[in-house]
């Protein structure tokens, strides 16, 4: 398998100082939809998510709760894992930074950087944002009245003995990477507007401390300096490499080809600097170390915006206005998991603007796209096949005026694929619904229910309905990454359950082949079943 047929996608690893919320579910769901698309089209795919444990806010919250940091982290890590499982995320592994395999790798990476001189010992004094666990540059701190940009709390003046990373040495190399990637047509950071922000900051970057003292041992020790722990951000960023840096003889098998294929990192704008500057600089430094020459840079950092509440405030744990797992469950039990997935992926803040999470918009999108469009069209076609052809797919006649859909089908795939490649899931969802909209328009135009009144027209009606069913089959393939449960149910009803079996057993599909015209067999029993998406009426 060539690297271009491999795909590696990650989400941030989330802090376990509290329970998961909609923001975490969102990024993981977006990555899940994208991972499913790649599997569907036959790419060997690796999808990583997980939790970030060694933050001071985790040990502080644990102390508040009267628990050890590890016990508190265990409890919340389990909550994240459980929510992701319940939401049928298809992540291939789940990171915990307190796991021995993670600690071992991070220690090795930092040791290599100490050996090469890119990590060195020194003193650091600066303005510290305790909530964000980061030092804020002097000018930025002053601009903001020495308060946190994120939670408004006062910054603290802090001095410490530290190990530093020679970030300043990577200004030019990083700017070169950015320029090269722009030229190649796949910019390192997307969307474009976010990239420009970062490029300006890279030009001024200084060395950064990468260790902390006084963490009470909660963290990974700096090799050879037991009183210092590796700064939680360095520890966390390395997860992306550590979990696929496994050899053929390990318990996880050879995952390195996934790294070499080029990671796609989904994150939100709060953590762009770490991913767009520090992370690639660390990798450039590591790549110079013996044994790590194979470590290339990620393919892309995709930076989305925020879900905000109806009032426009960011949804966050500290603001207490997030949708928690119980609220998320409520949406799932009312509308179904597919609906949540579809709404989040297609109406979410993937671009540079925030999205307001509004219950009204949710039900509106559910009714318009899922109940009235995909669900209704499937029912309509199955009903007519039931009524006029005894529930068996009719034979199409080659040259009747009923076969117009066949010609439209040839161009569904390219647009859809392009939107997935550029991570524009709103447009990808729209492209997946296009065949459904075309079927609705085709039925309106040809009026098979009227034609069927005269038995002489049955061959034409049969062709029309065959073409409708065939176009819906193609739509269901394109919709599968968004609506896996409904599409698999639909496949069962139209005699195509082998798609789900292949995806499950082989881990990959064959979208190019499957989406070719002519996948359905005449005479196949077509099951009507219950509506895939019953219309939602507010009580």
* Residue numbers at the binding site for ligand ME8 (CB under 6 A): 12-15, 23-24, 26-27, 52, 236-237, 267-268, 270-271, 306-307, 314-316
Q: Under 8 Å CB-to-CB from 99, ≥6 apart: which residues?
A: none
CB of 15 to ligand ME8, least distance (A): 4
- Give the nearer residue to ligand ME8 in terms of CB position, either 301 or 511: 301
Decide whether 270 or 415 has the Cβ nearer to ligand ME8. Answer: 270
Q: How far is the CB of 202 from ligand ME8 (least distance, A)?
A: 19
460 vs 401: CA distance, rounded Å: 7
User: In terms of Cα–Cα distance, which of 41, 2, 36, 21 is closest to 515?
Assistant: 41
**Of residues 42, 54, 41, 129, the one with CA closest to residue 96:** 54
Sheet holding 134-136, edge to edge: 134-136, 119-129, 156-165, 208-209
Cis preceding linkage at 224, omega within 30: no
Give the nearer residue to ligand ME8 in terms of CB position, either 97 or 373. 97
Burial 71-107, CB ≥16 within 10 A → b, else e: ebbbebbebbbebbeebebbbbebbbbbbebbbebbb
Minimal CA–CA distance to 264: which of 503, 43, 511? 43
Paired tokens of 181: 């990637």
What distances in angstroms separate CA 86 from CA 79, 177, 490, one per listed residue?
10, 39, 22
Pairing of strands 307-308, 355-356: parallel
* Position with the least CB separation from ligand ME8: 23
Residue 345 CB, shortest distance to ligand ME8, in Å, is 13
- Of 285 and 468, the one with the shorter C-beta distance to ligand ME8 is 285
CB of 463 to ligand ME8, least distance (A): 47
The Cβ of residue 134 has, within 10 Å, a number of other Cβ atoms equal to 19
Indicate the residue among 270 and 527 with the shorter CB distance to ligand ME8. Answer: 270
Nearer to ligand ME8 (CB atom), residue 43 or residue 235: 235
Q: Closest CB to ligand ME8 among 14 and 412?
A: 14
Closest CB 194 distance from ligand ME8, rounded Å: 13
Residue closer to ligand ME8 by CB (options 15, 188) is 15
Shortest Å distance, C-beta 136 to ligand ME8: 16
d(CA 231, CA 23): 24
Give the C-alpha separation, 368 to 430, whole Å. Answer: 12
Please, which residue, 96 or 314, has the CB nearer to ligand ME8? 314
Distance CA 31, CA 9 (A): 7
């Amino acid at each position: 398998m060539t690297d271009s047929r491999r795909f590696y996608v990650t989400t941030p690893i989330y802090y376990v100082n509290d329970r998961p919320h909609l923001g975490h579910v969102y990024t993981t769901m977006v990555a899940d939809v994208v991972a499913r698309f790649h599997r569907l089209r036959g790419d060997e795919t690796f999808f990583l998510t997980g939790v970030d444990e060694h933050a001071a806010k985790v040990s502080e919250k644990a102390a508040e709760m009267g628990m050890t940091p590890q016990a508190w982290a265990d409890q919340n890590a389990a909550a994240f894992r459980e929510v992701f499982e319940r939401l049928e995320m298809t992540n291939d592994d789940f990171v915990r930074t307190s796991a021995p395999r993670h600690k071992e790798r991070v220690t090795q990476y930092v040791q290599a950087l100490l050996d090469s001189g890119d990590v060195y010992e020194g003193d650091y004094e600066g303005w510290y944002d305790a909530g964000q666990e980061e030092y804020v540059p002097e000018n930025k701190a002053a601009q903001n009245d020495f308060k946190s940009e994120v939670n408004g709390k006062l910054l603290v003046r802090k001095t410490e003995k530290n190990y530093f990373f020679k970030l300043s040495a990577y200004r030019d190399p990083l700017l070169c990477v950015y320029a090269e990637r722009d030229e190649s047509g796949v910019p390192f950071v997307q969307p474009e507007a976010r990239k420009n922000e970062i490029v300006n900051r890279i030009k001024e970057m200084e060395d950064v401390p990468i260790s902390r003292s006084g963490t009470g041992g909660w963290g990974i020790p700096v090799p050879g300096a037991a009183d210092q722990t590796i700064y939680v951000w360095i520890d966390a960023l390395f997860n992306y490499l550590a979990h696929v840096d496994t050899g053929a003889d390990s318990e996880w098998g050879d995952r390195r080809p996934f790294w070499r294929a080029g990671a796609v990192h989904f994150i939100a704008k709060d953590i762009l600097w770490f991913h767009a500057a520090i992370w690639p600089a660390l990798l450039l430094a590591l790549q110079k170390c013996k044994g790590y020459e194979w470590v290339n840079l990620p393919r892309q950092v995709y930076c989305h915006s925020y879900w905000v509440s109806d009032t426009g405030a960011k949804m966050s744990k500290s603001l207490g206005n997030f949708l928690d797992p119980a609220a998320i469950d409520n949406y799932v039990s009312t509308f179904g998991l597919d609906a949540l997935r579809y709404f989040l992926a297609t109406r979410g803040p993937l671009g540079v603007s925030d999205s307001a999470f509004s219950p009204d918009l949710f039900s509106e999108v559910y009714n318009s796209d899922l109940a009235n469009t995909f669900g209704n069209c499937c029912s309509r076609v199955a009903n007519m096949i039931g009524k006029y052809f005894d529930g068996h797919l009719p034979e199409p006649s080659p040259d009747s005026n009923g076969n117009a859909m066949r010609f439209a089908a040839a161009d569904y795939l390219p647009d859809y694929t392009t939107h997935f490649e550029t991570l524009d899931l709103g447009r990808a969802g729209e492209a997946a619904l296009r065949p459904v909209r075309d079927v609705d328009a085709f039925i309106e135009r040809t009026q098979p229910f009227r034609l069927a009144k005269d038995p002489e027209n049955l061959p034409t009606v049969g062709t029309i309905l065959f073409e409708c069913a065939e176009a819906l089959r193609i739509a269901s393939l394109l919709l599968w990454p968004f609506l896996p449960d409904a599409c698999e149910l639909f496949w069962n009803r139209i005699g195509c359950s082998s798609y789900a079996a292949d995806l499950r057993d082989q881990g990959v599909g064959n979208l190019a082949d499957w989406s070719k015209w002519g996948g359905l067999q005449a005479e196949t029993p077509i099951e009507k079943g219950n509506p895939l998406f019953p219309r939602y009426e507010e009580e």
